[in-house]
Amino acid sequence: MTTSTTPRVCRGIGEFRTALAERLAAVPGEASLGLVPTMGALHEGHAHLVRLAREENAVVAVSVFVNPLQFGPDEDLERYPRTLEADLELLARCGADLVFAPAVEQMYPDGEPLVRVTAGPLGAVLDGASRPGHFDGALTVVNKLLNITAPPGPVPFRAYFGEKDAQQLLLVRRMVADFDLPVTVRPVPIVRDADGLALSSRNRYLDAGQRHAALVLPATLRALAAGELDLDAARARIDAEDQVRLDYLVVVDPRTLAPVAPAPGTLALVAAHVGSTRLIDNLAL
């Protein structure tokens, strides 16, 4: 049992790779590896990812890295919460074995990387339209993390991503296929607070009034899914909420992100600013 001990924290790439190899060598014949890439500021949504990884793998590693590449110049890189002590407590409870928490200089020793991943057309719409370069930066670091973590050939390797970042999940799947990366992508459903708000590290930016206002997002998604509102009415409902500024509310084909009429198998996606905090949510119809 590893569930009660604090996971080992590795700061350097070489140290992390060595620790992974040691842990995997300790479970010969049944070795498997789960990676949960995160930016830290962990909440119960992350805990679900780690617990699923724990159920499915002999060794569980969690990366904690606030990746500058995926933040725009006017975004919240500086104020993004860094809570490593609390993160480690949560990860100990969830049974993570290893935590890879590199400094920026360890991931990008020569400054920002010259060669990068580009997300292409699927990264230019929706969140990619609102956050230019975001998905290029996110895929660039996920590709690095997968390469750093990838275990010896025949060992099953699974990486866990939350469904809340639906566009990111689609793009990671696409990258894994397009790059022939030796990893299985495991999606994990959204975790919500009792009031329906999807868990997010950015929820801690919200004051009480903003948090109440933000509930219009999941409520509108539910009404859309139930057929109680059409898209125009759903948008109007969000627009009517003080303190909430809608970025987009769309229904898309989940494989292409192309807008489609609401129907079973489609996905409703929403993004909005609540105060200065940008939130996203989604619901399968």
Residues forming the annotated binding site? 39-46, 70, 162-165, 168, 191, 199-202
Rounded distance between C-alpha atoms, residue 165 and residue 162, angstroms: 6
CB of 196 to a copy of itself, least distance (A): 33
Part in contact with a copy of itself (CB under 8 A); list of ranges 72-80, 110-118, 218-226, 234-242: 110-118
Report if residue 68 touches a copy of itself, rule: CB under 8 A: no
CB of 255 to a copy of itself, least distance (A): 11
Strands 244-252, 277-284: pairing is unpaired
Q: Compare residues 46 and 144 and give the one whose CB is closer to a copy of itself.
A: 144
Residue from 37, 151, 218, 254 in contact with a copy of itself (CB under 8 A): 151
Rounded distance between C-alpha atoms, residue 274 and residue 243, angstroms: 6
Q: Compare residues 179 and 248 and give the one whose CB is closer to a copy of itself.
A: 179
Q: For residue 172, give both structure tokens.
A: 């990671």
CB of 4 to a copy of itself, least distance (A): 29
Per residue, the 3-state secondary structure of 183-246, as one string, reads CEEEEECCCECCCCCECCHHHHHCCHHHHHHHCHHHHHHHHHHCCCCCHHHHHHHHHCCCCEEE
Q: Compare residues 181 and 270 and give the one whose CB is closer to a copy of itself.
A: 181
Report if residue 250 touches a copy of itself, rule: CB under 8 A: no
Report if residue 122 touches a copy of itself, rule: CB under 8 A: yes
**Binding site for ATP: which residues?**
39-46, 162-165, 191, 199-202
Three-point CA angle 217, 192, 145, nearest 5°: 100
Total of chain residues touching a copy of itself, rule CB under 8 A: 34
Contact partners, residue 45, CB within 8 Å, separation at least 6: 162, 164, 190, 191, 198, 199, 200
Report if residue 21 touches a copy of itself, rule: CB under 8 A: yes
Q: For residue 98, give both structure tokens.
A: 């290893």
Site map 168..197 versus a copy of itself, x via CB under 8 A: ---x--xx-xxxxxx---------------
Out of 46, 48, 134, 273, pick the active-site residue.
46
Three-point CA angle 73, 76, 78, nearest 5°: 90
Residue from 73, 153, 227, 264 in contact with a copy of itself (CB under 8 A): 153
**Binding site for beta-alanine: which residues?**
70
CB of 137 to a copy of itself, least distance (A): 12
Report if residue 120 touches a copy of itself, rule: CB under 8 A: yes
46, 55, 99, 167, 169 from 216: Cα distances, Å:
23, 34, 36, 21, 24
Lateral strand order in the sheet of 244-252: 244-252, 267-274, 277-284
Residue from 27, 92, 116, 193 in contact with a copy of itself (CB under 8 A): 116
**Binding site for (R)-pantoate: which residues?**
70, 168
Burial class (CB in 10 A: 0-12, 13-18, 19+), 186: middle
Strands 244-252, 184-188: pairing is unpaired
- Is 46 among the residues known to form the active site? yes
Catalytic residues: 46
For a copy of itself, the binding residues (CB under 8 A) are 13, 21, 110, 113-123, 136, 139, 143-144, 147-148, 150-154, 171, 174-175, 177-182
